[in-house]
Amino acid sequence: MDFVTPDEFKSYETVAYTKGFLMVSSSPLTRSSHHAGDDFARLRAARSAKEVATA
pLDDT band for 35, please (50, 70, 90 cuts).
Answer: confident
**Domain locations along the chain:** 6-54
CA distance 35 to 6: 21
Say what the pTM is. 0.60
Task: Please write the tens of the pLDDT for every residue from 7-33.
Answer: 999 999 999 999 988 778 888 877 767
**Distance (Å, rounded) from C-alpha 10 to C-alpha 6?**
6
Q: What is the pLDDT of residue 24?
A: 84
Tell me how many helices (H) and strands (E) the chain has: 2, 0
